[in-house]
Each structure stands twice: as structure tokens, then as C-alpha cells.
Amino acid sequence: VSNAGVGMAGPLECQSLAAMQSLMDTNFFGLVRLVKEVLPDMKRRRGGHIVVISSIMGLQGIVFNDIYAASKFAVEGFCESLVVQALRFNVAISLVEPGPVTTEFEMKLYEEAERADYSRTDPETADIFTNLYLRNSRDVFASLGQTPEDIAEHTLRVIKAARPPFRHQTNAAYTPMAALKHADPSGALMTDAFYKLVFKYDAVLRLSLR
């Protein structure tokens, strides 16, 4: 089970390349290093199961989570490319894709974001992040957040499955969000829906979450 991960949220201009590279080294290359260690022996034994804790953000990018989503997209692409070869050796690969999970990790991330310096971006972007994104994120976590125990139960279910799924989403509330991308290959439907959700109907979103 690959579960190592770090988070990052905020305006792109305010994040250093060193911090981005460190995040990719943990979230993506940490998984690659692990798989390189365990896969050869699994192939020799012609049996095994690699379970990767990914994210719904590996399927759908979310505003102000550019680098974190990129790392999870990389995880998803890596596993999707590897799964067919692995199946030839009777090795299963499963991606567990949670939405928001209420942990100290997440709370610390948002507390740090509230105190951060946004002078390197323009005032409008800083205002959108602090007064729209952070406020809405707290409502999302309060309303839709799962506990770590929930994710552990989902992960156990995947491990024990007779035919392990390649993808397993833990929060049904996010299924429509992921479906938007597949409904319109041009991306216009998904982009328009998220733009309106963030900039036109954010008050309705907060009310519905509460």
C-alpha cells in the first residue's frame, strides 16, 4: 500500500519551484521508487497486489490545487500505463481515490494557507483564494469530508476483493464531478460548470453544503 503524500494549495505565483519539486518527489516519485522495489519479485512469483492511495484530484483538477492535482494525475497515468503489463504477471494494481478526508494534515494545510504571504500574486487572485476558496473548502470538508477510518475500510475492501478494481472512489458525492469530464471530451462542459460553481453560485454551494 502506497500512502505517502503531501499537500499544496494556493496561487501558483506564491509557490516555489523547490516546494513543487519536493511535493512531486514524495507524491509521485515516492510511488515509483516503491513499485520499482516490489514489482520484480511480484512478477517472479506471478502474483501480488499494489494499492495506491490516489485522489479524486487525480481525475479532476481543482482550482488552486494545481501542483497537488498534477502529482495525482501523474500517479494515475503511471498506474494506468503499468496495469496492463502487471496483469500479464497476475499482479493487480488498484487506485483508491478519496475526496476530502478530515485529518490534522488537511487542517494544518489550511491554517498555513490562511497565514501565508500572497504579495507575489495580484490582489484579485489573493482575494479569490482567501475569501472564496478557503471559505468554501472549510464547508466542503465539514459537509463531505470522510474520516481516515472510512478510507481504511474502503482500502481493506479493495485488498480483499476477489477481483480487485483498478479504480475505487470512496465518496459517491464526487462521481458526478468526475463524470462531467467524460460527458464532453472537449472539456467545455466541465470548465463552464466549475467556473459557475466558483464565481457565480458560490453562495448557493455554501448553503447546500451546510
> Catalytic residue positions?
68
Distances (CA, A) of 120 to 13, 44, 64, 71, 113: 6, 52, 15, 23, 14
Q: Give the residue ranges of DSSP H helices in the chain.
A: 17-27, 29-45, 66-88, 104-115, 123-127, 134-144, 148-160, 175-183, 188-199, 202-209
The helix-helix angle for 29-45 and 66-88 (nearest 10°) equals: 10
